[in-house]
Amino acid sequence: MKNIVSVQSTVLNDKVGNHAARSILSSRGYKFYEIPTVILTSHKGVKNTIQISDNNLNPWIIFNKVKQTYKLSLNDLTIVGYTPNLKVSKLISKIIKIQNRVILDPVMGDIGIGLYVEKDVANFFKKIMTKVKYISANFFEWSYLNNKDVNNYNLGDIIADLKSFTKKFNSQVLIRSVPKNKKLINILCNKKDIFIIETPYINFKERFHGAGDQSTALYAHYISKKNTTREILENVTNDIYSILLENKAYAKIREKKI
């Protein structure tokens, strides 16, 4: 059994952050180790969510205790996601410095919402993105990290920026949900290859939370399986599209019952 470490939000009642990653990876046979960056009763977008006191919540200390207890390796895939503030960001940066295979999911905003973390956290992601082996970001996040306007960032420029970045920093970047002609495009790029895949847009009446977190967990899974670049993109896209369709169908059933 392979280990995967997940340094993200722990949300008790919604399938996001560590909960989302665990739902994907535990069912696929991984030993999953959870390091909370914040503990919430519900997703941040839920009106009545409560943040549980984090005075003693130190991801760096938790990581080291878990590492000692379960004999984790520096080469274990490590997902780094939502961080609530700069104080926690600085603690997470210590984990990033010692882990060799980090997948950074710079959770900070989305199209139609904008930036929903503090600017110093977003700037932390800008600095740390050059230090990690893998990145999984939505279109808004990638645009922000590259100082680009989502409304004036065409596909040709996105591809050029991805090629330049991955060659310079020897990394692999997954960009999710680039809108184009009422469809969505996912892109996977490393210093050797770039692949693009298009999917239909699925419209939810209420915003669906956790798709990005689940996509990143799937990305970790297919990296671990040593799939080719093309296979990783195809498999992640197919799996998350199926998950979205299932949730769309479930939402319709709930509406009928109500």
Residues 6+ apart with CB under 8 A from 119: none
DSSP state of 28: G
DSSP state of 76: S
One pLDDT digit (tens) per residue for the chain, 258 residues:
899 999 999 988 888 999 999 999 999 999 999 999 999 887 766 666 767 766 679 999 999 999 999 999 999 999 999 999 999 999 999 999 999 999 999 999 999 889 999 999 999 999 999 999 999 999 999 999 999 999 999 999 999 999 999 999 999 999 999 999 889 999 999 999 999 999 988 776 556 667 899 999 999 999 999 999 999 999 999 999 999 888 766 555 555 555
CB 167 within 8 A of CB 159: no
What element of type H or E holds 87? helix 86-98
Task: Give the burial class of 201: count Cβ atoms within 10 A of its Cβ; 0-12 exposed, 13-18 middle, 19 or more buried.
Answer: exposed
Measuring CA to CA, how many Å separate 249 from each of 57, 153, 159, 205? 38, 33, 34, 12
* Domain boundary assignment for the chain: 3-257
Task: Give the burial class of 93: count Cβ atoms within 10 A of its Cβ; 0-12 exposed, 13-18 middle, 19 or more buried.
Answer: middle
Report d(CA 60, CA 194) in Å as an integer: 35
Report d(CA 102, CA 96) in Å as an integer: 7
Task: Please give the CATH number for the structural domain made up of 3-257.
Answer: 3.40.1190.20
